[in-house]
Structure 1
């Protein structure tokens, strides 16, 4: 067999190599049609290890080229930034102070932007702290060429201020009035020439979204900014309708008929699609047999079909405030594959047998048909278990008994999981509430009580059981992994908690970390420590590599329980079909492309999370402007040399209190050892976890920035602040000075969640 990996690397590293596509490269390295599969496998392996680069157009480039370094650009506000290399050369790999990243000044950045993949070279210059510097020499691939912003005109020319902080200057879009655009409209533009230190960028308006501030325009802006597909093509909708016409609940085929079993769902009160249901019995040995029944999406979405291609393109459903953009058409996600009460539905069932003390001893997979006997909202469950509900005999005895047994087993599994070293961060989760005009009316904290924990434990148990079952069969599959954290990051976290007065004996001990989490629970520094711990950990992702799951303390884990909204789960369902159809011949998924698929799906998941986070921020800032919120009680969540990051206690939004706004009669400086800022004259200290009353100095909706200042006494005895809605730079209007009498902070109250908190949990896990 030809050593294609070596041949490919040698060929693309040749002096004068011009990027070509796979078909041409196959011939150049001596391959043929008969060896194309081995060549493809070598290509995927090299690409997954970032030893070669393949652009969206299919052109193949080397990572190392004539002394150049390939990597991703991350810019900072000044216009300078860093190259995060795919492979770190020896001269910068050991630069521990800066994690081996290459500093690039604004003049050496060219027109590279955050997220761009570039080649850079090391230059003969060092920063004052000794960090190695570089210069961008070539753009490999742009992170995006499409952006969203606010249109304005000046001196007879049209310009767009792009949302966020990616560009420091406006983009020129030519003659005014293109596509009927008006000043203050939100627009989508395609960049023709990216801006640099020397010249403005140029672009063209591709779509007008509507007037700045009009209801719904903020959502459209985020959707286009992140490139999230919204409407389904007609051919996809037609394919979904065809599946609906073919569905016959009476034709079960080889499915196990569970329609007479006691099976329930527990979901948010306003949920629309239900992809998991639970049964629980005891066998003749006194063992628990947990049935986790998951909507059989694979029955309707065949691999390679139009529906499959669209689902793979989307990768995940996107849960935005007030809007869900589904991965599959609603006729499937809310209909055929939704496990609705009293309806026969097709499922994949995992039956997990546990001993009386919660040790798993056997797992069985079957294709099944169920009929959910009772649908519960989370709020209904605990009162029934604790026999304090008001529904009396309306809940059948077998259902009541099922819920009590589910609670008993789930709490047992939860206790065993933490004893084994699992981590669970206590991170506050907030849901926005809306009025009848779809404007933010407030925010409430999501509850996460034992009713949520019941379902969470059973979903985790099913995901682990399926992963172990696939692994035991020697199959290659898409795992959900959470790599162990970097030692240096853990040491830094230990130093951080020490500065706050807590001791972390072993920085990499999960049990010590969980002990710390419990120790700070309910304290002023709880959120600061939990978020800092989260930042010290690596991100979970999808891959075929056996990297384990650090937070869950398990070796094998995959996503099986949500195929309606996650494409990785759908791939696992297809593998179960393969096992059931060919028990002795299943080979698992092809290695060709599996790691790349995991990489692509991880990116789509992060895109969805980023979009949700940004739209939440936009809506909260808009709410603050409209309600003239001028003062906030905050907690310090971050300390930097330039100031304090403060997060609202009642309004869950974060802003910057610049060091120059701490006081005019003192000089403040950062004390890194104590993670604080200290006044030299007064000794006044601001530390992470401290509560601070602040005034709103400026809100910039377009840049999504919130600036605070310390309260100052006016002659009237009242504090005042100004809120800039972000439009003054386009319209020429002066920032308005808002009254200090806002409509009050967002109240915390008991939550009727709009999206299952376990959706959030799954994202993290």
Structure 2
């Protein structure tokens, strides 16, 4: 873009793929060479030598997102220009354990390092403007925060420390300060309690912000207080407002006859649900019927939540705000009040229920011959737990064995076809806890997806995919109507190259020529490493090389599933995007006009953000229980595998999947240097290495529940013990 016919620089290494992150960097770099230039997606594609329609479409999406994020101005429809550049860049603050921060900006190819003294009160997640200092050769970018454009949060959860005349709240998470609380603003909080504080002032020269206590959660160490503290840390609610619960209680369980008359009736068709043993909210049910032509009618029936939750109501407002249910170790914090999530909407057995369904006619090869989408009424004949359905599949006997076996047979064929088309098979083992009535973890066990889980997964994927195709896959002459897609970008090319370099030490490699080749060779690799010592480290690094899935009205396909069109239609009790999808599908089935794209794009962004918060809260609750469980194992020695290497220490995962860290200060036999490219620490004098994937024995040194921190020391001579890991 610097001159006519000149190609943009900074192309990714030859991995056969441009992803969004790489495209943003290349486009901005090119525009900075010619700041006055106006471009559209065709010119950018031509400049980069991009000819395939899929990547050209991605260029269009990237230009829209750069305009959304304030890097480009939309000067005319489809035409963009760089915003006037100053000596500063915009970015997001990522705090580091040592006190400094990285500011990650789309405008630069690497983060800006900002020392603690130059943060100027910026905090984790804040959007800031950074002045970038003149760059020294072979050094990172360095800079100073000049302005905080958008605060990530002003409310913090932590532990109260009360002294004679004042108090402080020590926040949880990556926060490099305490909050000063005047005595009169303690709101009844006592020393050592968990509480929520709001910052209301931070004078320029003050070391600490000033705040007040908004809510006291309870005593440190109390399980409910700790779980509520985790929710509060990520700004997630733990109770419903009373007026929302009252509104939900008024919704009747009984279905009036007029609500049924215009629906397709499946009440006489064999139907059942398959869910986790402790589930109470049943979003989805399957029905099966043999047709006279020898084909099979499979109904994927989804709770008709939007029939009950109407726009412009307080229940709708609360669901939109929450956007997702949150699953902590010992509880579910639902998106909808219990009256709806576990009662009115839940597809409970032996009750008539209203659904929005995707109904497929499949032949014996699981090929779709016909499909239908619409409103239905069902009557579930049986509620299966996954374990019960699995037993029927394994033994061939039990309730509805014929239907379960046939559905499983069709699901296996759907799954095989999906993998042949390039879907990637990440089957990760989940860590679970047996917990007593006070929330104390008694033991750890692993949960692995079996055929019953995969059966449900396959039919949910089918419904999600076909609904998305029904709306999005239109002829070139017609523009697709606004819709909510679940998108997954291609992997980061640089991360893939690093990953490929690393796995060569185990004798493996993946093809990097095209997206399809990457997916196929990655599947082969994941199959090959199963059961081997390096399985966990290879799987972990493979996942880290992947982008995160998100919601958007701008469809770029779903790379991990290898679907050109994909959405979330199947879980409206626990995900707000599914409610959006139900409303849009109903509107378009009735011939409605396209919805406002910007309104839905904003809702997609909010839903993606809330999903990330919920995932972080879930991880935090798991980490808390891991540390709590390991309190009884301090001083014991266990075998582990190095699962992460940083410049502040080595992360080690034990055989029970619990991870702790050996601080670098404990490696006192040498001065160790972090080799980021090779995922290792190297001793300056001895050249001794600690590398990702290496087996190592560790002693459990100390636990800190407050910080959810588990620390190990090297165990050079002691013999390791083993954990008893019960089967679920």
TM norm structure 2: 0.84
1:468–1:557 CA contact under 8 A, matched in 2: yes
Match of 1:706 among 696, 707, 710: 710
Distance verdict in 2 for CA 1:266–1:405, change over 3 Å: same
1:447–1:750 CA contact under 8 A, matched in 2: no
The CA distance in 2 between the partners of 1:64 and 1:109, in whole Å, is 24
The CA distance in 1 between the partners of 2:172 and 2:685, in whole Å, is 40
Taking the TM superposition and a 5 Å limit, the aligned residue runs for 1:299-448 are 299-387=307-395, 389=397, 395=399, 399-448=400-449
Cα distance per residue 1:336-383 (max 9 Å; x no partner): 111111110011110123333223343211211110112211112233
Displacement of 1:625 after TM fit? 2.3
Taking the TM superposition and a 5 Å limit, the aligned residue runs for 1:279-294 are 279-294=287-302
- Report the counterpart of residue 729 of structure 1 in structure 2: none
Match of 1:579 among 588, 593, 596: 588
- Report the counterpart of residue 485 of structure 1 in structure 2: 491
Distance verdict in 2 for CA 1:131–1:556, change over 3 Å: same
Q: Does 1:68 align with 2:88?
A: yes
- Report the counterpart of residue 108 of structure 1 in structure 2: 118
Q: Does 1:530 align with 2:539?
A: yes
- Report the counterpart of residue 461 of structure 2 in structure 1: 460
Displacement of 1:302 after TM fit? 1.4
Q: Aligned Cα RMSD in Å?
A: 2.8
1:48–1:595 CA contact under 8 A, matched in 2: no
Cα distance per residue 1:572-595 (max 9 Å; x no partner): 111232234x2xx32343213111
Displacement of 1:663 after TM fit? 5.5
Taking the TM superposition and a 5 Å limit, the aligned residue runs for 1:686-697 are 686-697=690-701
The CA distance in 2 between the partners of 1:323 and 1:312, in whole Å, is 21
Distance verdict in 2 for CA 1:45–1:421, change over 3 Å: closer
Match of 1:191 among 194, 199, 208: 199
Displacement of 1:505 after TM fit? 3.0
1:189–1:203 CA contact under 8 A, matched in 2: yes
Displacement of 1:454 after TM fit? 0.5
- Report the counterpart of residue 666 of structure 2 in structure 1: 661
1:675–1:688 CA contact under 8 A, matched in 2: yes
Distance verdict in 2 for CA 1:455–1:246, change over 3 Å: closer
- Report the counterpart of residue 749 of structure 1 in structure 2: 726
Distance verdict in 2 for CA 1:387–1:699, change over 3 Å: closer
Match of 1:510 among 500, 514, 519: 519
The CA distance in 2 between the partners of 1:593 and 1:45, in whole Å, is 15
- Report the counterpart of residue 158 of structure 1 in structure 2: 167
The CA distance in 1 between the partners of 2:66 and 2:675, in whole Å, is 45
Match of 2:265 among 245, 252, 257: 257
Q: Does 1:223 align with 2:234?
A: no
Question: 1:698 aligns to what SS in structure 2?
Answer: strand
- Report the counterpart of residue 19 of structure 1 in structure 2: none
The CA distance in 1 between the partners of 2:715 and 2:154, in whole Å, is 42
The CA distance in 2 between the partners of 1:227 and 1:625, in whole Å, is 28
- Segments of structure 1 that go 5 or more residues without pairing to the other structure are 1-43, 54-61, 94-98, 720-743, 752-765
1:63–1:70 CA contact under 8 A, matched in 2: no
2:429–2:448 CA contact under 8 A, matched in 1: no
- Report the counterpart of residue 123 of structure 1 in structure 2: 133
2:648–2:663 CA contact under 8 A, matched in 1: yes
Cα distance per residue 1:460-488 (max 9 Å; x no partner): 01100111111135321010000112211
Displacement of 1:640 after TM fit? 3.0
Displacement of 1:703 after TM fit? 2.4
Taking the TM superposition and a 5 Å limit, the aligned residue runs for 1:131-280 are 131-154=140-163, 156-167=165-176, 169-175=177-183, 178-194=186-202, 199-244=207-252, 247-248=255-256, 251-280=259-288
Q: Which moved more, 1:682-691 or 1:596-605?
A: 682-691
Cα distance per residue 1:665-695 (max 9 Å; x no partner): x555555565334557766543322232211
The CA distance in 1 between the partners of 2:160 and 2:455, in whole Å, is 50
Question: 1:204 aligns to what SS in structure 2?
Answer: strand
Taking the TM superposition and a 5 Å limit, the aligned residue runs for 1:569-718 are 569-580=578-589, 582=590, 585-625=591-631, 628=634, 630-650=636-656, 652-662=657-667, 664=669, 668-670=672-674, 674-678=678-682, 685-711=689-715
The CA distance in 2 between the partners of 1:419 and 1:336, in whole Å, is 40
Question: 1:243 aligns to what SS in structure 2?
Answer: coil
The CA distance in 2 between the partners of 1:353 and 1:196, in whole Å, is 67
- Report the counterpart of residue 48 of structure 1 in structure 2: 68
2:275–2:386 CA contact under 8 A, matched in 1: yes
Question: 1:443 aligns to what SS in structure 2?
Answer: strand
The CA distance in 1 between the partners of 2:376 and 2:220, in whole Å, is 51
Distance verdict in 2 for CA 1:295–1:110, change over 3 Å: same
The CA distance in 2 between the partners of 1:68 and 1:227, in whole Å, is 30
The CA distance in 2 between the partners of 1:671 and 1:318, in whole Å, is 37
Distance verdict in 2 for CA 1:745–1:153, change over 3 Å: farther
Q: Which moved more, 1:300-309 or 1:504-513?
A: 504-513
Q: Does 1:554 align with 2:563?
A: yes
The CA distance in 1 between the partners of 2:363 and 2:197, in whole Å, is 60
Cα distance per residue 1:79-133 (max 9 Å; x no partner): 2222222x41xxxx3xxxxx3322222232111111011112222353x732222
The CA distance in 1 between the partners of 2:344 and 2:183, in whole Å, is 50
The CA distance in 1 between the partners of 2:253 and 2:289, in whole Å, is 35
The CA distance in 1 between the partners of 2:438 and 2:196, in whole Å, is 25
Give aligned pairs, total: 650
The CA distance in 1 between the partners of 2:440 and 2:512, in whole Å, is 47
Question: 1:456 aligns to what SS in structure 2?
Answer: helix
